[in-house]
A and B are shown apart, each in its own frame.
Chain A
Amino acid sequence: MSTTEARRARRTRAFASLSLAMTRGLLRDRAAVFFTLLFPLMFLLLFGALFKDDSSEPAHLVQVGDVKMLDSLPEGERAGLREVLEITKTDGSRAARDEALEKLRKGDTDAVVHQGDGPGALVLRFSAADQVRSATIRGVLDSVVQHANQRATGQPPAYRLTAGQVEDESTKPIQFLTPGLLGWAVAMSGVFGSAFNLVSWRRKRLLRRLWLAPVGAGSVIGARVGVTLATAMVQTALFLGVAVTPYYGLRLSGSWWLCVPLVLCGTLAFLSIGLLVGSFAKTEESANGLSQIVILPMAFLSGSFFPLEAAPQWVRTVSEFLPLKHLATAMQDVLSRGEGWGAALPVMGGLLAFAAVMTLIASRLFRWDAA
C-alpha cells in the first residue's frame, strides 16, 4: 500500500516539475505569450469596437426652420422624444436647408425635417445609408404625427401598440464575437502550442532524454494538457473581463459559468488535434504550417469572426463537423442566452469524444525520436 502511495507521490512530483518546466519555457517565450494571449484579445478589442452595437445612441435629426407640429409638442412628449432623437434646429433659410441636406448626404446627420407646403405638411428626408436608423426616425416621427392628429381631432385612438425590445433575442455583435473569438483563441493555443511543443522537444532531443528517465509518455502529455488547460482559463478570464466592460457591453446570463467546462472540453479537443499534428510533423515550420491550415479555415467556417447566418448552405453543413462551431454556439447559449446544462452537456460530450478519437490516432503516430 505504501509503495503505491510512494509511486503516486513520485508521479505527482514528476508531473508537477514537467508542468513547471513547460510553463516557464512558455512564459519566457515572448512570441508565444503574445500569440496565445494578446493576439486573440486584440481581435476582440478591435472587432468589438468596430461592430459595436450603437443603435442605443439617439439618432440625429436636423430641423430646418419652424415646423409647426414639432414646435407645438407638449413638454412631456418632447422629453420622450429627446431620448431617441437628438434634434438640432436651424433657421429656415434656403441656405440652411441646403447645408442640412449636404450634411445628410455626408452622413453627418441621420435625417432632415422641414415644413412642407401648407401648415399640416411635414417633409422628412433621410439617408438610405443606415436603414435601421432611418426606420427608427420614420417610426418615431410617424407616431408623433399620429399623436398630433389625435390631439387635433380629439378622438381617442382605437388601437394602441405597446412595443418593448426583448433583450438578447436578437444577437448583438459582442454576443457572438466573445464566444467565437474565445473559441478561436483556445483553438490556437491548443493546436499550435501542443504541436509546436511536441515537435520542438523532439527536435531538441529532449523527448529521447526523457525516454531514458523514469517518466511515462502520460506524464509528458499530461503536463502539456495541464498547461494548455490553465492557459485556456486565463484566456477565458481575459476575454470575459474585456467583454463585460460597459464599453463592450456583454451581459452574462444565468449559467454563464458553464463556459468554463465548455472551454476545458474544447481545449482538450483542440489539444488532441495539436498532438496529432505534433506527432505527424517533423519540423517546427511544418508544425506551424499544418496548425494554421487546420485553425484558420476552421475559425472562418465556424463563424468565429462573423456569424454564419448569411453563409451558403454548404458552409453551414461543413461547420456542423467542426468542434469550434459547436463550442462557440454552446458558449453563446450559456453566456448570454440564458441556457444551461441542456445546451452545454451534449456539446461537452461531443468534444470529449472527438478528443478521445484524435488522441488515439495521435498515440499511434507518436514518436519520441526524430530518426
Chain B
Amino acid sequence: MSAMSATSGTSAPPQYAIAAEGLRKRYGETRAADGVSFEVENGEFYGILGPNGAGKTTTMELVEGLREPDEGRATLLGIPSWPRKPALLRRIGVQLQASSFFERLTAHEQIHTFAALYDVPPDRADAMLETVGLTEKAGTREDRLSGGQAQRLSIACALVHDPELVFLDEPTTGLDPQARRNLWDLLRHINGEGRTVVLTTHSMDEAEALCDRVAVMDHGRVLKVGAPRALMAEAGVDNLEDVFLQLTGREYRE
C-alpha cells in the first residue's frame, strides 16, 4: 500500500496501468504479435486467453519490456517499458512461463537472492515462502522441487517485493487443486489491495472466477475484450469455454 500511495502522491496517476499500442513481433515467418493493442485499468484483474501459440507469452514479454517490439509500444504505470528501466522494474513483478532459478540453490536461497535484488528485508522473503506453502521445502534444491513446487517458488519470487503491477504467465499450470485455490486467494488478496494483476491461463473457470476482463487472442491478434459475463451474454452461451471455442474455432491446430 505504501508503494502505491508513494507513486500516486504528487502527480496524477496515469490513466491506465498498462497501455499497449500496435505491438508487433515477428519470428521469421511467424507473426507472434500482429498489432496488439489493449488497456488495463489501475487495480484491474485482467486475463489473456488464447490457444497454444496464439501469442500470449509474446505479448506479455513485449509489454513487460523483456523483448523489443518490431513496432508499437507499451507503457506501464505511465512509463514506456522499452528500453529497460530499473526504477520501473522495481514496481512490477513477473512470473515467466518457464521458471528460471539460480543453479543448485535451495528454495530459501532463491527467494532470499531475489529479495536482495529488489532490496526487500529477508523476513519478507521467508513470509512469501510461507504464503506459497513452501516453508517445508525451504532447504530443497531448485532441481529437486516438483513441477508445482517450482511454479509456486517462481510466483513467490515474482511477488516478493510487493509489486504494484503483476504479470503471471500460466501461474496455475501444474498446481494441485489446493495450491490452485490458495493462489487464487492470494491473487484476489493482492488485487484487493489495489494492485493490478495480468495473467494468462488455459483454464476458463479460472478466468471466470478471477478476471474483471479478459482478452481473447489468436494468431497474434486480440479478437475480443470484455468482462466474462458480458462476453457470455453477447455470445448467448452460459460458460466462457463456449465463448472461447466460438471465437477461436473448434479444430485442433498445429
Contacts and interface: CB of A to CB of B under 8 A. Distances in A.
B90 interface: yes
A14 B104 contact: no
B105 A24 contact: yes
Interface string A176-211: 000000000000000000000000110011101111
Contact of B100 (A24, A25, A209): A209
B114 interface: yes
A29 interface: yes
Contacts of A29: 103-104
Main secondary structure of the interface of A (DSSP, over half): helix
Interface in A207-238: 208-216
B109 A24 contact: yes
A204 B100 contact: yes
B113 interface: yes
Contacts of B141: 28
B119 A14 contact: yes
Contacts of B104: 24-25, 28-29
Contacts, number: 74
Nearest to B84: A211
A21 interface: yes
A22 B102 CA distance: 8
B89 A213 contact: yes
Nearest to A212: B94
A119 B113 CA distance: 89
Contacts of B87: 214
Interface of A: 10, 13-14, 16-18, 20-22, 24-25, 28-29, 200-201, 204-206, 208-216, 369, 371
14 contacts: A17-B113, A17-B116, A18-B113, A20-B113, A21-B109, A29-B103, A204-B100, A206-B101, A212-B96, A213-B89, A214-B87, A214-B89, A214-B117, A369-B66
Interface of B: 27, 64-67, 84, 86-87, 89-90, 92, 94, 96, 98, 100-105, 109, 112-114, 116-119, 141
Given A13-B116, A20-B113, A206-B103, 9 more contacts: A13-B119, A18-B117, A200-B103, A205-B96, A206-B101, A208-B66, A210-B117, A214-B89, A369-B66
